[in-house]
Structures are given as structure tokens and as C-alpha cells.
Amino acid sequence: MKFFVDTGDINEIRDLAATGLLDGVTTNPSLIAKAGKPFIPLIEEICSVVTGPVSAEVAATDYETMSKEGAKLAQIAPNVAVKVPLTPAGLKVCKELSDGGTMVNVTLCFSPLQALLAAKAGASFISPFVGRLDDISQDGMQLIADILTIYDNYPDFQTEVLVASVRHPVHLLEAARLGAHVATCPPDVIRKLYHHPLTDKGLAAFVEDWKKTGQSIL
């Protein structure tokens, strides 16, 4: 499974990229607003730090403007994945950009049939929002299972399932069990993956026992 981080915080991105575990970055207008930096220079900076896909989302909702925005975003760097909404206009832009060799991330997916449309439009990634479905008492992970089943039925589809709106490590575990291609997580969720109380306990015991030897490796 590929790990993307879902943030516009360049410091968080640099820190996680240094671990070697980061495969890409996703952003959205809300995350860009939170970052408090000019949009295009920020995407340029992120693309210089991360070699994998960096999702940059269009702001318009109509086809003509969305198409122009998508073309401009695609010029920022070769690893930009233009992010478009799962609407008729968004899928039209997806087809246009993907035919031209640009990666496209189709976002705000909430049904298997929407995911089918995105794959037919040539999307590089489909972003189903599992957390938001859980919020309204629907099963977000069932959506992932359904999309993967449909895609597996049609080997010509190249669209990768990018699990989004991840709220906690269990979402990531379930996505990995299902065989999702990518998960995008907030930085704090990625960092939670390191922790287990028995790891902490065991390390503390090793450190204490080493002190008792009075030795030094250096």
C-alpha cells in the first residue's frame, strides 16, 4: 500500500518524507487555507520535496474554468495530480487531462457507481471518503470493498483506489486488508502507526538494562 499524507503543511511533509515512508501528498482547498500560504508556490514547494504524486485541486465547478485551472496546475510539475470533483464537469476535465498524460485524482466519491464512472473517464486515482460515510452511520470501508471488487472485474481499468477521509489507524488497517492501493492520512494518523505499548515497555527495559552494564557503544 502507498502512503500519502493529507496536509498542506510543508514542515510536516518534509519531516515525513525524511522517513522514506511517504509516497505522495494530497491537498484540498481547506488544507491550503489552513496552511496560510499562496497556493501555487506551495504546490511547487511540495513537489520539490516529494517525488510521488501531489494532488492539487481545482477551485472552479464549471467545465470551462475547471479545464483552464487543471491545465495550469498540470504545468507546475510532472508529479502533480490534478484533483477534480466527481461531477459531470469534473469527469469531463478528467478525461481531457488523462488523455493528455496528466494524472487526475477524482475526489468526493461516495458510491461504487461514481467510482466506476471515474475509472471510465481515465482517472489515475479515485478518492472514496470513508470517514464522512462513517459520520452518517454508513459503512465507509464497505464502499472500498465494493469499488475494489468492481475494478478487479475489469483488468483494463488502471485507476487506483485512494482511501481518503481516514480518521484513525483502524481505517488504514481495514483498507490494507482489502487491498486498497493507496491511503491518504493526516500526519497524526501516520505517526500513530509507530506506537504500541509493548514496544515502549520493551524499549524502556532494554535501555535500563544497558545502563546497568556501564558500557558505551561510542
Residues marked as catalytic: 83
Residues 98/121, Cβ–Cβ less than 8 Å: yes
In whole angstroms, what is the distance from residue 121 CA to residue 90 CA?
A: 10
Closest CA to 170 of 192, 199, 148, 152: 192
Dihedral angle of Cα 173, 1, 106, 95, to the nearest 10 degrees: -150
Dihedral pair phi/psi, residue 137, rounded to 5°: 65, 30
